[in-house]
A and B are shown apart, each in its own frame.
Chain A
Amino acid sequence: MSDTPTRLIDVRQHVLSKNDRLAQALRQRFDQAGVRVINLLSSPGAGKTRLLEETLRRLGQRYRVAALVGDLATDNDARRLARSGAAVRQIETGGLCHLEADLVTRHLEGWGLASFDFLFIENVGNLVCPTSYDLGEHARVVLMAVTEGEDKPLKYPGTFRWADLVLISKLDMAEAAEFDAAAARASITSVHPDATIIATSARTGAGLDEWLAWLEMRGTRHEVP
């Protein structure tokens, strides 16, 4: 036994305060550059990349758009998205299950943020871990495919709860998946009573006008002249 007395040290600090500080600095940079930043979250295979591909293509006709794509491995998604003509960078996390503000900061190096109106950050496909990490985004969008089961929001309340927008994706597959739209809406609003919900299909284009209008409403500073 040591004779040194035990004492209580008061700390009261958020465990992710370092990430939060970096995220706050990012948000300031984004604001100064006049770029709106969207953090896209979903489980793997919910159609983030496909939706983003179509979003970049359509939004890119009127705005300067860019994407930062997080994946555990491979740059397949970045190569796929680059076909839309948008500026795209890949973050390979090397196994890390989420993006952190520090990773985003490093991958923005040398990118003139002021030359973009919208930057989409496609998070690693995962409905748990990315939730805890602020990336300095202005809006957090959570995707849920019609093939996933209507109760997904109840299984991941922590993620859906903080969504500024819930996008239901792959609407073109709703019938085959026997998707119950009312049940899906009920589970989303159960965890997030004020949720904004848009049902989309990147394949047929359903709901995309509404999604783009939502993005524009969330504000951009300058249109392409």
Chain B
Amino acid sequence: MHELSIAINLVQIAEDAARKAGASQVTVVYLRVGALSAIVPDALRFGFEIATDGTILAGARLEIEEVPVRIFCDHCAAEADLPNPQIFCCPTCQRPTGHMVQGRELELTSLEAT
């Protein structure tokens, strides 16, 4: 359970960005979380509530976009989303592939603020 320390980092970055933009209250935080980021969204939501308390993010909504694992298959010369991040095989041709192009994100994309 490291989601609380993740949430604390998230709040620090959001506060800095909001202040720089001259905002005084953050209402929504948009986050992209990869399927292999080792983050549990529900645990992060819980940590987020605690970490935002008493900050300009207090009461803000956390919008999590879950990002699937995407691989590049050399054989098909194409990218494809993995239906299951435990099986690194191209879903089209079934050949194993280690080439991952997406799925480890933990990115604060944007904020809504006033």
Contacts and interface: CB of A to CB of B under 8 A. Distances in A.
Interface of A: 2, 4-19, 96-98, 100, 128-129, 131-132, 154, 157-159, 161, 189-194
B62 to A, nearest CB: 12
Interface in B63-95: 85-89
A15 B106 CA distance: 6
19 contacts: A2-B25, A2-B114, A4-B114, A5-B114, A6-B114, A7-B112, A9-B23, A9-B110, A11-B111, A14-B106, A15-B13, A15-B107, A16-B9, A100-B5, A132-B2, A157-B86, A158-B36, A158-B104, A192-B98
B39 interface: yes
A196 B86 CA distance: 17
A132 B44 CA distance: 14
Contacts, number: 106
A9 B18 contact: yes
B108 interface: yes
A94 B2 CA distance: 14
B112 A13 contact: no
B114 A17 contact: no
A161 B102 CA distance: 13
